[in-house]
Amino acid sequence: MRTPLLFLSTLFCCLATVAPAAVGVVVETKVFHVPGQGARAEVNLAVLAGTFTIAPNERGFQQGRVEVLTVVEQNGAIVTFAKTQVAGPERTDSLSTDIVHQETFLLQPGSYDLNIEVRDLQGSDTTVTRHSAPLAIGALTGAVEFGDALLAERIVPAPDDPNARYGHLVVPLLSDYFPPALNELNFYTEVYGTDKVFGTDGAYLLTYQIETFETRTVFANFKKVTRAKGKPVEPVMAAFDIGQLPSGNYLLAVEVRDRADELVNRKELFFQRNNRIQHNYDLAAMDQLDIDNTFAGAFSNPDTLAEHIASLRPIADPLERKIVDDRWKDRDMDLMKRFFYSFWANRSNDPEAAWNAYRQEVIKVNKLYGCRVLKGYQTDRGMVYLKYGPPNTQMDRLNEMDSYPYTIWHYYRAGKYTNRRFVFYQPDLVSDCFELLHSEVPGELNNPRWNQILHERNVSRSNVDPRSPGSLSGDRANEFFEMPR
């Protein structure tokens, strides 16, 4: 069914290694019931930005086009299928965004096999991306039951749209990860059988809430309760403002309760939140923190704790970076402990687990990118890795004759941006300290002359402003940048 988000970066890297030109896809299936007819199986698919070709269309706009073949089989025989050419949004620039596609099939209860093939219609390579997974369709039993829970990009009124659900168009969000840029959680599900259990128009309570994953308790006031009446199908479409929901792992839970508030049935859906809620780190307020029994209170060596605090710099905001620098200088043990605990408490409802996970990444970059007198987290590559995660593809060119050694990192997603690249190079030819030369991510170093600078090893810089050195090596660098592999 749905590919877990925690493994997506590994999946994407595997796709790039096995089939460099294959498009990257994320697939989820959702099943809802139509009483008396069968089940509505929805196959939601996102073709990832940066993995398909963008080309001018007949109207002169830049646009991606892919072909999607969706086949449902049972016992080796095709039950139903759909073959569709899907176009992405039209753009006036060359930036790419995901292409989202949905197919819907009416199926009877049983076990099926879902097979999907996706190919780029505009690229020179005809490599096909394939996805296969079992598809189980259950039957309604007469008890109170739920359809699948669907996270939505948006839910808008659309009474005349043939794809609408009960008068609303639900656009799926094919991710269980909510970055800081997403401040609303929309969801959709359906409840069945309340008319049989509570009687037609019989009263019951319908609640939905956000719970911490670790404790399964309602987080803060993220809970809503409504009164409902029994009917064959009760569509549930709602939203939470998660602007103040801190980073962490959560459950979206929908419950049906009787009039005595006893739980009848429940539906859960996991999601992750990344939200750096801004705090002013007021010293007087920090004095009120009781950290003796926390993981931060266990540190006894000021140099060790100062080193840990320094490693936070790549993911810290400007105010936090100043505090990091101040604590590195003064080594005040009490202030270091309080800041260290507050830093992680501001990011997760389980600050110790969040620190331990980040610490493992710091250990990794220290080993991979440490050089000369710099720890890995202090290098440009280490900072980018800790801030945005591992690249989806990485092109290393370390032995070019007429350019400095360089590496190009490509991210399907870097923070809230899609299809972005970083270029690192080694201008001293001696150390392993690669410097950031160019990035497409706003706020990072942007250098349109990166290719020319890369080739100044053997060619002096001219007074004009060419974007390419005009050599075979320069052309290859542009090709590696535009078409990562």
Q: What is the pLDDT of residues 273-329, one digit of tens each?
A: 888 665 556 655 566 667 888 899 999 999 999 999 999 999 998 888 999 999 999
Q: May I ask the CATH architecture of the domain 1-138? A: Sandwich (2.60)
Domain ranges of the chain: 1-138, 283-345+350-378, 391-482
Q: According to the model, what pLDDT value does residue 415 have?
A: 78
Alpha-carbon gap, residue 173 to 36, rounded angstroms: 29
The phi-psi region of residue 182 (left if phi > 0; otherwise alpha if psi is between -120 and 50; otherwise beta) is: beta
> Which residues, listed in sequence order, are joined to residue 147 by a DSSP beta bridge?
none
Residue 215: pLDDT band with limits 50, 70, 90:
confident
Alpha-carbon gap, residue 170 to 176, rounded angstroms: 16
Report yes or no: 35 and 42 within 8 Å, Cβ to Cβ.
no
pLDDT higher than 50, residue 1: no
Mean per-residue pLDDT, 243-255: 90
Report yes or no: 226 and 275 within 8 Å, Cβ to Cβ.
no
Angle, vertex CA 257, rays to CA 36 and CA 242, nearest 5: 95
User: pLDDT tens, 138-150?
Assistant: 999 999 999 999 9
Q: Pairing between strand 263-273 and 248-257?
A: antiparallel
Residue 18: pLDDT band with limits 50, 70, 90:
very low
pLDDT higher than 80, residue 362: yes
Determine what percent of the chain is predicted with pLDDT higher than 90: 57
Q: What is the 3-state secondary structure (H, E, C) of 340-400?
A: HHHHHHCCCCCHHHHHHHHHHHHHHHHHHHCECCECHHHCHHHHHHHHHCCCCEEEEECCC
Structure tokens at 124: 């020179």
Nearest CA-CA partner of 146 in 269, 238, 259:
269
